[in-house]
Structure 1
Amino acid sequence: MSIVGKSIREQSISEKSISVIVADDQEIARTGLRMILDAQPDIHVVGEAGDGRRAVELARRLRPDVCLFDIRMPHLNGIDATRLLAGPDVGDPLAVVIITTFDLDEYVYEALRAGARGFLLKDAGPALLAQAIRAAAGGDALIAPSITARLLGAFAGAGPAAPPAQPIEALTDREEQILLTVARGRTNSEIAAELHISLSTVKSHIASLMTKLGVRNRVEIAMWAYETNRVKH
């Protein structure tokens, strides 16, 4: 059935696939995103919204694995929608990935602060889009050197709203290494190979970093690294 002309379309959630809702005020953009994601064997778009308010309502009702939001939407923008679903005060946050246009949107940094796990440029290819969805669904975040690190550097260069918090406990030398690799966009598998340690050890160090830094995901780990000038941008 065609989705043209529908602002929101729902389908049953498959237990074997990653459920996603897509929110963008441009119908042609939603259609394209749905086609790309539904072509993946393990990803299933379960709903669409043409504005931020409907997106939040849909997300709260369906509880998808991942929400894919544009920043610029009517009624409620992507940043505010993200904050309502994944912000610091949300007890059971949803995974949100922002998709945006770098040259036009100046609020990506704020979106990450609002709780987004990652973001993509709108000219990202299908493979990268699918990778970002899978990462978010797995409790991870896409920190691609060519995209996320570049944007984090650009926005962090303006400086945080307040001085970055100091770790509750000093970082070990190994944690400092892990911190830099996360900020540079390495996946857990890449970090394990680069530092010659096991995948479980990488995950353990990242969990320790989140605890010490008081952050919730690797996007915030990367932001902290930029804010404290550990990564030059």
Structure 2
Amino acid sequence: MTKLSVNVNKIATLRNARGGTIPDLLKVAKDLEDFGAQGITIHPRPDERHIRYQDARDLKKIVQTELNIEGNPISKFIDLVLEIKPEQVTLVPDSIDAITSNSGWDTIKNKDFLTDVIETFKQAGIRTSIFVDPDPEMVEGAKAIGADRIELYTESYALAYIKNKEIAIQPFIEAAKRADELGIEINAGHDLSLDNIQYFRKQIPNLKEVSIGHALICEALYLGLENIVNMYLHKLK
């Protein structure tokens, strides 16, 4: 079964919009685990516009499943990850002013830099995942730099799914096949939703984990967190 890690950035965004502690990020994380989520994902950015660095420290104390910290490996981020030592770190090449992640790494061009960063995390016993576009060459680059996993950037799939899901999934099948051949595990995330997740899961049978935040939280406004988590779990079986 593919594991579901819930990204709680949007909960922090809502909290920060009013200040204070409502909604309570830590309680939401605990509730999500109680409802069946198998991991909690956060993506602290340098401006702390949603997840704050202190949130990462607090979540490490209470998350009982798996904590996945995403981010661009600037020095401040590297220091935070080494301090907290989450189960997984996912490296994402987003710029400081990016609204959201919008591309995967060029694992060939950034080979030396990423190799050093990944080695630093692996020496600390942290599983490493690298955010990549569905390109077999980038998957090969991820293997070469020593990543444990790739996270397939699925925005292009989500956008094209409505028009032609067979065409939309094809690059991901090819990338996943190459990853399997190379012995590198596969995660996926970005714009996956109840509408498109099941087809993606069926076509990528070796999918280890999905990280879903924006769609899940928006859907939860209508359906409720407990219901939505269990609906995802059913679709991922």
TM-score above 0.5: no
Question: Structure 1 or 2: larger strand share?
Answer: 2
- Greater RCO structure (CA 8 Å; 6+ sep): 2
Name the TM-score, length of structure 2 as normaliser. Answer: 0.36
State the TM-score, normalizing by the size of structure 1.
0.36
